[in-house]
Amino acid sequence: MVADELAQRIVAAKSTRRATKELIYEHALHLFATRSYARTGLRDIAQAVGVEVASLYSHISGKKALLFDLMEFGTRDLLQRLQAAVDEVDSPALRLHALVSEHVAINCRRQNQTLVTFNEIRELDTAQREVIFPLRDQIAQLYLDAVTAGIDDGSFRPVPVRITVNGVLSLERGVATWYDPTGAKTPEEVAELHADQALRGLLRVELLTAAGDRTLDAELLRDLVGDGSGVPVDDAE
Amino acid sequence: MVADELAQRIVAAKSTRRATKELIYEHALHLFATRSYARTGLRDIAQAVGVEVASLYSHISGKKALLFDLMEFGTRDLLQRLQAAVDEVDSPALRLHALVSEHVAINCRRQNQTLVTFNEIRELDTAQREVIFPLRDQIAQLYLDAVTAGIDDGSFRPVPVRITVNGVLSLERGVATWYDPTGAKTPEEVAELHADQALRGLLRVELLTAAGDRTLDAELLRDLVGDGSGVPVDDAE
DNA sequence: CCTACCGATCGGTAGG
DNA sequence: CCTACCGATCGGTAGG
């Protein structure tokens, strides 16, 4: 090939550089989620994007780094959204409700992200996992804090905190495995259902009695436990 | 090698044939669970067992068939145990309680089995999956029946059945990812906690009011909803 | 971004 | 159950 042709190619490459990099990450996420990381070759990703394998290396440093980037971005983003969801919520019950409904909705909307993040963690090397695990711990801590505070202020039963939180997190992850975006339920509806279910397992019975069989949404919860700025209302209804 | 030596080897092989086959399945399950199917080579399994790769083929027909056998056995065994657990239980609430506590205890005791069964399903080919999926469907059906019957007889709230069951099954699977057999809780304790949590999310509030904050074990449930052989006791306590 | 290519690994087989 | 070996695939690189 003559020099001009090469120059031309490089110019063309640069003008679509950002788009190509995004395409790589998009298709990689999709393939990793549906076929698994191990069963997805760089050749599959290159083909989906429409380039040769060697060309991938102007955008990524390797297959494992590609997986790591996807997992790190997804986990960081999730943490930030959950932190934002509980940011100015004082009442523990309302905080847990916000965590569960936000988390479930995210796991519905970004199924592939969730699936890859949890199915492929073993593929990372130790150094990479040492970045992801603290992020996960921070997410779990939001839940641990909410449940602990809820027990302390008397809105939750005195459950074993760690196991309960593990249960809630498992429930949320599971959503990514079965949620059907073409089905009847919206992410928000699934979120509300799971939040209701989780809260009912935790709230003290006196509060549940006041709620009856109505859905435990944020508004009803605020009536039941107060908004954290004053005395809990335990004779609502 | 002379004929005598070969004969000797074959005799030695036959006398430990059963033991070797079991060793292969044991080590394969352990390696698949900890390192994943894709990252486990037949060489790893052979080394763990203490034979050469080629020798594996007198016991198994291939790597994928080995995975399939493990998954099929585990799933069939689980189905049978769950069926036995609900066999002569009439009350829907008691049936769900039996399902959850038996299932959670099994997933604690056989973590590797559970992890492999759910993490590696994508590695099977279509024909193999067509054996496993109906078994899973039968397991899910036990839950669907219990929840539906519980709504019909008035012990459960009118929840969306499918989503609720998906939630319970996710919760149970999750146990295999975090349960620590060297930790403080026995499988039975974890089982009882999760069964309590699940039942509280489902029972109608009048029944919960009668239960108060006591653990919803089988005995208490029988008092609350009856044993299915008579009229539900809804004014217990 | 492409052509051409490589070393390593892997599941599996032949034959005894 | 072992020795010896193979074809296929894969992540990745050199060089333009």
CA A32 – CA A70 distance, rounded (Å)? 10
pLDDT of residue B19: 84
**Interface membership of A122 toward B (CB under 8 Å):** yes
Burial of A7 (0-12, 13-18, 19+ CB in 10 A): exposed
Mean pLDDT score, B114-124: 95
Mean pLDDT score, B151-159: 96
pLDDT of residue B14: 53
Are B13 and B58 a contacting pair, CB within 8 Å? yes
Digit-coded pLDDT (tens) for B7-37:
555 555 555 666 889 999 999 999 999 999 9
Percentage of chain B beyond pLDDT 90 is: 78
CA A69 – CA A19 distance, rounded (Å)? 17
Q: Which residues pair with A203 in a beta bridge?
A: A156
Which parts of chain A sit beneath pLDDT 70?
1-18, 227-237
Question: Do the chains contact at B197 and A164, CB–CB below 8 Å?
Answer: yes
* Residue of A190, A39, A176 whose CA lies nearest to A117: A176
Question: Do the chains contact at B212 and A205, CB–CB below 8 Å?
Answer: yes
**Residue B66, SS3 per DSSP:** helix
Digit-coded pLDDT (tens) for A13-23:
555 666 889 99
Q: Which nucleotide is nearest to A41 (CA to C1')?
A: D10
CA atom of B172 to C1′ atom of D13, Å: 46
CA B154 – CA B152 distance, rounded (Å)? 5
pLDDT of residue B15: 52
3-state helix, strand, coil in chain B (%, to 5): 75, 0, 25
Burial of A113 (0-12, 13-18, 19+ CB in 10 A): buried
Percentage of chain B beyond pLDDT 70 is: 88
The pair phi, psi for residue A156, each rounded to 5°, is: -105, 155
* Residue of B177, B197, B29 whose CA lies nearest to B107: B177
The pair phi, psi for residue B156, each rounded to 5°, is: -105, 155
Residue of B nearest to A119 (CA): B119
Digit-coded pLDDT (tens) for A126-178:
999 999 999 999 999 999 999 999 999 999 999 999 999 999 999 999 999 99
* Residue of A180, A181, A191, A190 whose CA lies nearest to A102: A191
3-state helix, strand, coil in chain A (%, to 5): 75, 0, 25
pLDDT band at B234 (very low <50, low <70, confident <90, very high): very low
**Interface membership of B171 toward A (CB under 8 Å):** yes
Q: Which nucleotide is nearest to A44 (CA to C1')?
A: D10
pLDDT of residue A235: 42
Burial of B156 (0-12, 13-18, 19+ CB in 10 A): buried
Residue B228: is its pLDDT beyond 90? no
Q: Which residues pair with A156 in a beta bridge?
A: A203
Mean pLDDT score, B153-160: 96
**Long-range pairs of A73-77 with CB within 8 A, sequence gap ≥ 24:** A74/A110, A74/A113, A74/A114, A74/A116, A74/A117, A75/A117, A75/A132, A75/A135, A75/A136, A75/A139, A76/A135
**Interface membership of A136 toward B (CB under 8 Å):** no
The reported pTM is 0.89
Are B202 and B150 a contacting pair, CB within 8 Å? yes
CA atom of B53 to C1′ atom of D5, Å: 13
Mean pLDDT score, B166-170: 98
Rg of chain B over CA atoms, in angstroms?
22
Considering only residues A118 and B6, tell me which one the structure prediction assigns the higher pLDDT: A118
Residue of B nearest to A176 (CA): B170
pLDDT of residue B233: 45
**Residue B215 is which amino acid?**
T
Q: Which of A36, A38, A171 sits opposite B167 (nearest CB)?
A: A171
| Residue B1, CB, strand C, below 7 Å | yes
Mean pLDDT score, B141-161: 97
- Report DSSP state, residue B106: H
CA atom of A146 to C1′ atom of D5, Å: 61
